[in-house]
Amino acid sequence: MSRKRKRSSPLLVLVLVVLIAGAVYVDRFIVPTTPPLFIPTATPTRSPESFLNEAGELIQKGKINQAIETYKEAVKADPRNPAVYVTLARWQVLYGDYPGAMENIQNALLLNPNHALALAVRGWILGLQGDFGAGQVEIEKSLELDPNSALAYAYLAEIYKNKIEAGNEDINTRDQIGQISKKALALDNSLIEVHRARGLVLEVTGNYREAIAELETAVSMNDNLADLHLALGRNYNAAEIYDKAEYEFGRAIALRPDEAEPYAELARMYLKLGQFGKGTQYSEQAVQKDPKDPFLRSLVGSFYYKTGDYKAAIKSLRLAVNGGMSEEGVQVEPVPLDSSIASVNLYTRYGISLAKTNQCGEALKISQKMAEVVADNEDAMYNAQVIVDTCKEMAANPPVTETPSADAAADAEAGSTADAAEVTETPTP
């Protein structure tokens, strides 16, 4: 007898169908969109524009270093856009990072060899590094592509300014520099580089009060650029507004504590004012920041010379004149004798210090060298004779002691040391 087959439950069949359909749905639609377990979820990529906007906001807040780092992130996010490289390079120049700026400008020009502003910025950097001819050529190329570029004219004005300071100016350089910087202002007076350039042009042509106005405008656009505070301080100093000069140099030191120039500028002002105690400290700090610079060694020696401590003065001045290895183990290159203010004052102070300590064999060599090399410089010739006369005086009346007397120090404070014909100290180019 056969057994009767049990019929399937309709409810069970329905449940199985639902489960199968669910499994198929999960396999086809859910699994592909679910990230694998234990693998970090990818974060959304930021757009280049977001970095540029953030960098611009940082610039407005005066946070230049942070802005530069953000511009670098913008470059990474959009490495094919030359304009981003150019913007980054401009701020690197203003911040004083010329090698970094040049690297980014070269990258911009690799992407677009005819990028007018990139060419102008490259010319600006070359000019700031002393290659005036090459810098001028680059800016002329830029102006052929964009004849109404305020920045190109501003950069060209700075190149001419640097040529004047380096003694490489042409016959018409001083006439051209004023016209060029004014044209930059007329084209766009909203740019910090334009006011900076105009201020520097006015400084080099001796219009210090007008330079102050332009540089104050530039500083108002961004208060955290050390070079602008240095320039403003120099012009306050030249205009004999010493309290403001002191503040600006101090501001530059706060922004660039590891660079020698702000300390040296402040020390030079104190040297002019006869504040030798303060000046000595700042000049020595400048040497610590840049021990290879012979002009900074000369600055230290000048303070000892002014206070009549000729033995201490010789130690620094000799290294500046002859070059050699410093006590810190740093090689210092000698300062050549020429008609510049800094050079003539250095050799004068060294020669008189030698004569005052009865080291006339070497002192007379300095005097003779001045007579041979800078015979057309009246101050230098006068000082060469002072060295000779001092040696004659020392021979007739040998010093009893090598330590400076109170009277000698007092005479030095009054600026009458050896009656040398010194000219006003100016920043060394």
Phi and psi at residue 85, in whole multiples of 5°?
-60, -40
Query: How many angstroms separate the CA atoms of 171 and 147, rounded?
Result: 24
Give residue 208's pLDDT: 98
**Of the given ranges (65-74, 226-235, 311-320), which has the lowest mean pLDDT?**
65-74
Could you give the 3-state DSSP secondary structure of residue 325? strand
Q: Buried (b) or exposed (e) across 203-218, using 16+ Cβ within 10 A?
A: bbbebbebbbebbbbb
pLDDT band at residue 11, thresholds of 50, 70 and 90?
A: low
What is the mean pLDDT of the segment spanning 333-340?
Answer: 94
Task: Convert the pLDDT of each residue in 135-168 to its tens digit.
Answer: 999 999 999 999 999 999 999 999 999 999 988 8
Give residue 156's pLDDT: 97
Q: What is the DSSP letter of 28?
A: I
Task: Convert the pLDDT of each residue in 305-316 to its tens digit.
Answer: 999 999 999 999
- Domain parsing of the chain, residue ranges: 292-429
Q: What own/partner pairs with CB < 8 Å and gap ≥ 24 does 409-414 have?
A: 409/307, 409/308, 409/309, 411/308, 412/305, 412/306, 412/307, 412/308, 413/274, 413/276, 413/306, 413/307
- Token pair, residue 326, equals 């410093």
Identify the burial level of 232 via C-beta atoms within 10 angstroms of its C-beta, where 0-12 means exposed, 13-18 middle and 19 or more buried. buried
More confident of the two residues 339 and 35: 339
**Of the given ranges (3-17, 235-249, 344-358, 415-429), which has the lowest mean pLDDT?**
415-429
Identify the burial level of 262 via C-beta atoms within 10 angstroms of its C-beta, where 0-12 means exposed, 13-18 middle and 19 or more buried. buried
Give every CB contact of residue 63 below 8 A, 6+ residues apart in sequence: 224
Question: Mind spelling out the 3-state secondary structure of 135-150?
Answer: HHHHHHHHHHHCCCCH
What is the mean pLDDT of the segment spanning 95-117?
Answer: 96
Phi and psi at residue 173, in whole multiples of 5°?
-60, -45
pLDDT band at residue 64, thresholds of 50, 70 and 90?
A: confident
- Which residue from 315, 324, 374, 385 is spatially nearest to 350, judged by alpha carbons? 315
Give percent of the chain with pLDDT exceeding 90: 71
Task: Convert the pLDDT of each residue in 14-47 to its tens digit.
Answer: 555 556 656 555 456 554 555 554 444 444 567 8
Query: How many angstroms separate the CA atoms of 249 and 270, rounded?
Result: 12
pLDDT at 429 over 50: no
pLDDT band at residue 418, thresholds of 50, 70 and 90?
A: very low
Give residue 170's pLDDT: 83
Task: Convert the pLDDT of each residue in 396-414 to its tens digit.
Answer: 888 765 454 444 443 443 3
pLDDT at 78 over 70: yes
Tell me what the pLDDT averaged over the chain comes to.
Answer: 87
Task: Convert the pLDDT of each residue in 355-397 to its tens digit.
Answer: 999 999 999 999 999 999 999 999 999 999 999 999 999 998 8
**Of the given ranges (30-39, 81-90, 244-253), which has the lowest mean pLDDT?**
30-39
